[in-house]
Structure 1
Amino acid sequence: MASALQEPVSARMRETIKQRLDQIRTEENAKILLAVESGSRAWGFWSPDSDYDVRFVYVRSATDYLSIEPPRDVIERPISDELDFAGWDLAKTLGLIFKSNAVILEWLQSPIHYGGNEAFSSAIRDFAKPRLDEKALAYHYLNLARSQINRFLDDPTLVRGKKYFYVIRPALTLRWLRLHGADDVPPMDFGRLTRETALPDSILETLAVLLEQKQKEREFGLIPRNPNLDALIYAEVQDGEQRARRPAQRKLANDIDAANTFLREWIYKVA
C-alpha cells in the first residue's frame, strides 16, 4: 500500500538527522547501536508536514555502568524543526523486551534506518523474538485502540482523516495477532499490516484512497466515517478484549543471565 507520491524521508533530511545523531554521540559520549524512524513516516501513512520521530538505542562505557550515580537511561532532545530525538540505554531496552514492550519492538523493525550497527540490529531482534508475549502485545494495542477511539471517533458521522489511521492501525494489529499469534512481531509498516490481515477488497480499496489523499494534503480535514471501517475497528477491539485476558507467557528461566550477557557483549564490542 506504499505510495510513490513521495519518499517518507528525503536525502537532505536524512543527512540532517545523521548530523544531529553525531552531535548527540559526542555530547553524551554514547555509542548509538540503532537509530530509526518510529512515527507515521515509518508506519507508512505520513503527511507532508509529519514530524520526524527519531528513536535510538545506545550503550555507554563500562565505567558509566559501574558508577554509584550512573547517567539517566534515556537521552532526549527538545523538538525542533519537526525533529524529535529520543533514545533508550541498552539495559533499559532489554528490560522492556522482557515485558514485550510494543514500542521498542516497533523500533527494532522500522523500515527507515538512520544508522547504527547492522549486527546489533540482527542480534537484538533474535534476542527479542523468543520472548514475545501475545497477552502483553494484545493489551498494548487494545489500550491504544481504545484511547484513539475515544479521542478521534467522538463524532458519529465525521472524523479527521489523518486521525482515522491512528485508530485503524492498532485495530489491524489486533487482527494480525488474532491471525498469526506472537510467533513474530506484528508489522509496523502499514502496507505489510494490511497485506497480512486478510482484509476484504472493499476495505483495501477504501484504505488506499484515504492513504493517497493523506500523503498529498498537509491539512487532511474532516471526512465521513466509513461504516465498514468502523465495523472492522470495533470487531477487532472486542476480540482483543478477550485475548488480553489470557494468561501471560511464562518467562524463560535464564532471561536475566541472557540479558546480562548480551549487555556486556555490546558494551565491550563497541568500546
Structure 2
Amino acid sequence: MQIEQEIQHLFKDRDDIPLFYIESGSRLWGMASPDSDYDVRGFHLPSKAQYYDYQKHRDLIEIMDGDFDFVSFDINKMFGLLAKSNPTVLEWVRAHIIYFNQFPEWGEFKEGLLGKIDYKALYYHYLSLAKGGMQVMQTADNFTYKKVFYSIRGLMSAELATQKIMPELLITDLFAQIDVNDPLRHWAEAYLEIKKQQKEKAQLPDAEQQQILKLLNEKIEALNLRGIQITNDLNKLQQYLTDYSFNLKQHFYG
C-alpha cells in the first residue's frame, strides 16, 4: 500500500494543512501479524478560515477504508495532549516509520519536548494498558497472542518509566532495555516470532495461558512495590509548547 499517496489523496479536497503522519500500532512496534491493518496517525493544521473563525470545529479527522485506518489530530489537540505527557501521542512523535513530515525544525522540537515530559504519566498509561489487556484476554475466546504482547509491552514500558528511561517502540529494542534474566523477557523473546506468524485472532494454546498470566501478574506485583512521583516541570513544558505553536502558526498562516 502506498501510504504517502493515500495521505495526499485524502487532503486533495480539504483546506486543512497536513503536517506529520506515521505508522502506529503493531507495525511500528515490530510485531505485526500477516493481516494487521495500517494504523496511520498524525497531525494537521486546520484551514486558515477555521483558524480565524469564532466557531469551534471538529479537532480530528478519522478515515477507515479497508485496512487503511487513519486518524489525524489538529495541532491544538496535539499540543493539549503533549502538555499532559500523553504517552500515545508521544509514541507518534517518536515513531521511526514516518510517511510525511512538514514540521519546521522537527528534530530540535522533538528533542526539547522529550526532555520535559512526565514519566509518571507514562507509567500509569502503560500499566493501565497492560491490565486492560489482561482482563480482556481472560474472557471467552480472547486469549490472543496480540493481547498478550500488548500487555507485555505495557508492563515493560511501565517498569522503564519508573527508572525515567524512555521505553523503546520497537519490541526487540524494548526487550534489550529489560534485565536479561527477567522471566517475562525470556518468554516474550521465545514467542515473538510465533506471534508474528499468527493471524490477529490466533489464541495461545491452553497449556501456555496460565504460564504467561503468572508472569504478567508477578510483574504487576513487582511494579506495585515501586513508587513514582511527577518528574517534570509542567509550566516549562506548557511554555515550550506555546512557543513552538506560535512559531508554527506564523510559519503556515503568515
Q: Is 1:237 matched up with 2:220?
A: yes
Q: Which amino acid aligns with 2:242?
A: N
- TM-superposed CA distance for 1:20, in Å, is 1.8
Q: Distance in 1 between matches of 2:18 and 2:51?
A: 16
Change (3 A) 1:250 1:18: closer
- TM-superposed CA distance for 1:74, in Å, is 0.9
- TM-superposed CA distance for 1:253, in Å, is 3.1
Change (3 A) 1:241 1:121: farther
User: 1:202-258, CA deviations, whole angstroms, 9 ceiling, x for partnerless residues?
Assistant: 655532342212222336333232666444422332344455x64434634354443
User: 1:115-143, CA deviations, whole angstroms, 9 ceiling, x for partnerless residues?
Assistant: 11365542442242133112211111111
Q: Which amino acid aligns with 1:225?
A: E
- TM-superposed CA distance for 1:85, in Å, is 0.3
Q: Which amino acid aligns with 2:46?
A: R
Q: Distance in 2 between matches of 1:140 and 1:201?
A: 22
Q: Distance in 2 between matches of 1:227 and 1:200?
A: 20
Q: Which amino acid aligns with 1:262?
A: Y
What count of residue pairs does the alignment treat as equivalent? 250
Aligned twin of 1:10: none
Worse-matched range after superposition: 50-59 or 159-168:
159-168
- TM-superposed CA distance for 1:265, in Å, is 1.2
Q: Is 1:59 matched up with 2:45?
A: yes
Unaligned ranges ≥5, structure 1? 1-12
- 1:181 counterpart (152, 158, 164): 164
- TM-superposed CA distance for 1:154, in Å, is 5.0
Asked if the contact 2:83/2:241 (under 8 Å) is kept, the reply is: no
Aligned twin of 1:162: 146
Unaligned ranges ≥5, structure 2? none
- 2:187 counterpart (206, 210, 214): 206
The RMSD of aligned alpha carbons is: 2.6
SS of residue paired to 2:143: strand
Aligned twin of 2:80: 95
SS of residue paired to 1:27: coil
Correspondence list, 1:144-159, <5 A: 144-154=129-139, 159=143
Q: Distance in 1 between matches of 2:173 and 2:234?
A: 30
Correspondence list, 1:79-118, <5 A: 79-117=64-102
Q: Distance in 2 between matches of 1:118 and 1:93?
A: 13
SS of residue paired to 2:13: helix
Q: Distance in 2 between matches of 1:190 and 1:42?
A: 9
- Report the TM-score, using the length of structure 2 for normalisation: 0.85
Q: Which amino acid aligns with 1:220?
A: A
Change (3 A) 1:132 1:176: same
Q: Which amino acid aligns with 1:163?
A: K
Q: Which amino acid aligns with 1:91?
A: N
- 2:10 counterpart (5, 21, 24): 24
Aligned twin of 1:3: none
Aligned twin of 1:222: 204
Change (3 A) 1:202 1:102: closer
Asked if the contact 1:34/1:56 (under 8 Å) is kept, the reply is: yes
User: 1:135-171, CA deviations, whole angstroms, 9 ceiling, x for partnerless residues?
Assistant: 211111111111111111458xx93223211211101
Change (3 A) 1:229 1:55: same
- Report the TM-score, using the length of structure 1 for normalisation: 0.80
Worse-matched range after superposition: 84-93 or 233-242:
233-242
Change (3 A) 1:241 1:69: farther
Q: Choose between structure 1 and 2 for higher RCO, CA contacts under 8 A separated by at least 6 residues.
A: 1
